[in-house]
Amino acid sequence: MVGKVFVMLLLSFPKGTDKGVLFTYYAPDAQSVYLVGDFNSWNTSANPMKKDKDGVWKIVIPLAPGKYQYKFFVDGRYEADPTNPITEGPYGNSVIRVGEHFKVLPPMMSNNTPMNSYVTFSAKAKGFLSIDRDSTDSYRLFNTTQDVRMGVNVNIQEEATLKAILHYNTVTGQDPSTHQIPFYFERAKLTFNKENLHFISFYNTFAYQSPDPVALIGRVNQFDYPFGRDEEGLIVKIEKPLSYDIHALYSNSLLNGRDLGFLRLSRQTDKLYAALFAYITHGNNIEYQVISPDSERANDSTFLHFNTYEDRILFGFEFGNKELMRYEFIMGKDIKRANYYDVDGTKTQYAPVDRKWNIGQIYKFRSLYGNKNASVFGDIETHRFDSIFSSTLGRGYTLFKTGGKLSIKGIKVEITQNFLLAGNQSTKWEALFRQLEINRLKYVEYPLMGYEKYTYLRLSTDKKLLNRLNIKASFTTARYALNQPPRADEAQLILHVPLGKLGVYYDSRYFHIKSSYLHVNRDFFDHYVEIYYKPTANLKLKTGYGFYPFNLLDEHTQRMEYLWKNGVTINQLKNNFRGLGGLIEDSEKQIAKNREIRIWLELSF
């Protein structure tokens, strides 16, 4: 009994998806696997499963709410689900419970509490050996790294779920003062669902993306991540009170303490929908000992100094047909507030104060036509600044964007034409960084920032050939004109060839930048090659050569994260655009020169 409970703590159930319940079975050498159960009268040919490149057989079955027994029929023999410790009957059939919307529910367990709970643990442990060249161009062992993530999932009845991750890393997790390496709390999410009420509490994890065309909340940085990383907060969704849907969010930034509030009220009919929303941020751009804007304008010799921060307040509405056309209008303003001022002019003694200055107004309109396979959009955003800030921001400017997306036969195309319309008004460099979507700027767009026009284009594909070779390729470019700099081009090619328990992975990237203003005209090329051996579904041994393109969360973002770490950021664009060329050149050189050999063991359960 103790052994069975221990196994239950380590393993997990099949998963619910939008289309049904996902069943998986790891058998890379099997010739055929079928899912059988009481839902198909134990028919051994009704539900064949498909094997993926890693040797995992999968199938999605749309099951009605209820309790089901099942097994896998593997090359003519019945096998229980090794990832599901719950069995029933003399034949040891695996058992699951399914709720509404294909949600897989925890098993009913007898205990002496009023609630039935189910706890699962998961973990992923990695051990690295890094071998690189030293100053004499000879290879030697540079460092060893151990990285462990421990996950805890707690289900309470059918309504509440808690997911948390603890992290241990011998490099990034070391306390510089004590040199100890503790487990630290990395991310967590608590969800509660009861009929039409949905509650989410999150800490440093993906949690939300607003459904409006602009996506005011979400589409974070150039990878378009959902909102929630480096944040902590609450989300409440209420469906159909008085025929309306309500989304409410509050979040606090873990990086700078900024507060964010969002409220959306929407109503949907058979064909049309409409929504109203409000968006407020409090505590942006904190500055200390700043000269009072009105003192500076009036050329006041006293020059009052304040500690200041900014608020952004936006209101808007959207409407349309979600299947064809959608429109969104946003208006609001930026406000500078002062909370302390210099009492005696020494910049050492400050007293509380409450002053504010309107920085300027914001207007944005977006129209979107089409669906997920083909769409076009038009976008216009205008900023008008108060005269008190004209010396630092100018009078205003307008951004106009138009473009579209197309997906056909596995090939995706995305194109955007960007225009900066300043007219006869003077526009200051800092003002351009107040646009609503500035943090979504792509890396290839950095050298084009501030130009009156440029084109962004991305082509990508994800193909599988000969049932073995998996190919991912992309080409991304941003340029002032077709054959006229400035421009930046990036091409990536990924090849993955699984050969049973063995596999080969190759990842290459080419980057070109040409800009006379940034004094750079260079080509860069880097690649990574890996051979792995996977004796079981939970164990993998790898050896690789080159710049490793994945971060510790196995996200294919390590190159960009390395560039960010070396200062190639939006803030660098804002504070020292001329220095951007040198930073890009130095960072890309380091990526291209990387000749590291990595050997590591990866264990997960």
> Facing residues of 276 across strands?
265, 317
Tens digit of each residue's pLDDT (9 = 90 or more) over 190-211: 999 888 899 999 999 999 999 8
Topology given in CATH for the domain delimited by 2-105: Immunoglobulin-like (2.60.40)
Residues 6+ apart with CB under 8 A from 282: 258, 259, 260, 261, 309, 311
Which strand (E) or helix (H) includes residue 260?
A: strand 259-268
The answer to which of 259-263, 535-539, 564-568, 597-601 has the lowest mean pLDDT is 535-539
pLDDT band, very low/low/confident/very high, at 298 (cuts 50, 70, 90) = low
Instruction: Name the segment(s) of the chain with CATH classification 2.60.40.10.
Output: 2-105
pTM over the 0.95 mark: no
CB 368 within 8 A of CB 213: yes
CA distance 181 to 30: 43
CA 19/CA 269 separation, integer angstroms: 23
| pLDDT tens, residue by residue, 461-475 | 988 887 778 999 999
Cα(504)–Cα(324) distance, integer angstroms: 43
The DSSP symbol for 578 reads: G
What was the pLDDT predicted at 2?
36
What's the pLDDT band for 143 if we cut at 50, 70, 90? confident
Q: According to the model, what pLDDT value does residue 416 have?
A: 96
C-alpha torsion 100→106→107→109, nearest 10: -130
Beta-carbon neighbour count of residue 302 at 10 Å? 10
Measuring CA to CA, how many Å separate 262 from each of 57, 221, 358? 42, 19, 21
Cis check: omega of the bond before 28, within 30 degrees of 0: no
572 neighbors 579 (Cβ within 8 angstroms): yes
Element (H, E) at 69: strand 66-74
CA dist 120 and 161 (Å) reads 11
Separation between Cα atoms, residue 527 and residue 508, nearest integer Å = 4
User: Does 530 have pLDDT greater than 50?
Assistant: yes
Name the percent of the chain lying above pLDDT 70.
90
Average pLDDT over the chain, rounded to whole? Answer: 86
Q: What's residue 338's pLDDT?
A: 84
Q: How far apart are CA 15 and CA 168, in angstroms?
A: 27
Give 224: exposed, middle or buried? Use CB within 10 Å, 0-12, 13-18, 19+: exposed
**Radius of gyration for the chain, computed over Cα atoms and rounded to the nearest angstrom:** 28
* Edge-to-edge strand list for the sheet holding 21-26: 15-16, 21-26, 56-61, 50-51
What is the 3-class SS of 387-448, one letter each residue? HHHHHHHECEEEEEEEEEEEEECCEEEEEEEEEEECCCCCECHHHHHHCCCHHHCCHHHHHH
Helix (H/G/I), strand (E/B), else coil: 28: coil
- Which pLDDT value is given to residue 302? 55
- What is the band of 7 on the pLDDT scale with cuts at 50, 70, 90? very low
Taking the CB of residue 175, how many other CB atoms lie within 10 A of it? Answer: 10
Are the C-beta atoms of residues 75 and 48 closer than 8 Å to each other? no
Residue 339 φ then ψ, to 5°: -115, -15
Q: What is the pLDDT of residue 116?
A: 46
